Amino acid sequence: MGHIALQENLAGWSLGGQVSVDLSAISDNVKALRSLTRAPHFMAVVKGNAYGHGLVEVARTALASGADWLGTAQLTEAIALRRAGIAAPVLSWLYLATQTSAAIREALEHDVDLSLGSVHQLEATVGIARGLGRPAVVHLELDSGLSRGGARAEDWPELVARARQAELEGTLKVRGVWTHLAWADIPAHPGNATAVAGFEAAVQAAKDAGLEPELRHVSSSANILQRREFDFDMVRAGLAIYGLSPADHVDPAEHGLRPALTVTAPIVMVKKVPAGTGVSYEHRAITHEPRLLGLVPLGYADGIPKEISGRNVVLIGGRRVPVIGKVCMDQFMVDLGPSGDGAAVGDIAVLFGDPAAGAASADEWGAAIGSHGDEIINRIAPRLPRAYECPDYQEPGHVA
Ligand SMILES: *Cc1c(COP(=O)(O)O)cnc(C)c1O
Q: What is the pLDDT of residue 390?
A: 74
pTM confidence score:
0.93
Q: Which atom of ligand 1 is nearest to the CA of 93?
A: 13
Pair (34, 94) in one structural domain: yes
Per-residue pLDDT of 307-320, as tens digits, reads 999 999 999 999 99
Pair (31, 13) in one structural domain: no
Mean pLDDT, rounded, of the chain: 93
The yes-or-no answer on residue 242 being catalytic is no
Per-residue pLDDT of 358-395, as tens digits, reads 999 999 999 999 999 999 999 999 889 889 987 555 55
Spatial contact of 113 and 92, defined as CB atoms under 8 Å apart: yes
Query: For the stretch 65-97, what's the b/e string if a residue is b when 16 or more beta carbons lie within 10 angstroms of its beta carbon?
Result: bebebbbbbebebbbbbbebebebbbbbbebeb
Residues sharing a CB contact under 8 Å with residue 12, sequence separation 6 or more, in sequence order: none
Per-residue pLDDT of 331-363, as tens digits, reads 999 999 999 889 999 999 999 999 999 999 999
> Measuring from atom 1 of ligand 1, which residue has the nearest CA?
238
Q: What is the pLDDT of residue 4?
A: 47
User: What is d(CA 53, CA 175) in angstroms, rounded to the nearest whole number?
Assistant: 29
Does residue 45's CB lie within 6 angstroms of at least one atom of ligand 1? yes
CA of 309 to the centre of ligand 1 (A): 30
CATH number, residue 328 = 2.40.37.10
**Domain boundary residue among 193, 211, 242?**
242
**Domain boundary residue among 208, 242, 276?**
242
CATH number, residue 224 = 3.20.20.10
First to last CA, the chain: 21
Pair (223, 268) in one structural domain: no
CA of 40 to the centre of ligand 1 (A): 18
The yes-or-no answer on residue 306 being catalytic is no
Pair (52, 118) in one structural domain: yes
Does residue 239's CB lie within 6 angstroms of at least one atom of ligand 1? yes
Spatial contact of 349 and 267, defined as CB atoms under 8 Å apart: yes
- Give residue 400's pLDDT band: very low, low, confident or very high (50, 70, 90): very low
- Give residue 16's pLDDT band: very low, low, confident or very high (50, 70, 90): confident
Strand 136-142 vs strand 90-94: parallel, antiparallel, or unpaired?
unpaired
> Measuring from atom 15 of ligand 1, which residue has the nearest CA?
73
Pair (13, 28) in one structural domain: no
Per-residue pLDDT of 201-218, as tens digits, reads 999 999 999 999 999 999
pLDDT of 2 > 50? The answer is no
Q: Which of 271, 272, 281, 306 is catalytic?
A: 281
User: What is d(CA 391, CA 388) in angstroms, rounded to the nearest whole number?
Assistant: 10
Q: Is residue 72 part of a domain?
A: yes
Q: How many domains does the chain have?
A: 2
Q: Which atom of ligand 1 is nearest to the CA of 73?
A: 15
Q: Is residue 254 part of a domain?
A: no
Pair (232, 266) in one structural domain: no
Q: Is residue 396 part of a domain?
A: no
Q: Which domain holds residue 346?
A: 3-17+260-389
| Radius of gyration, alpha carbons of the chain | 24
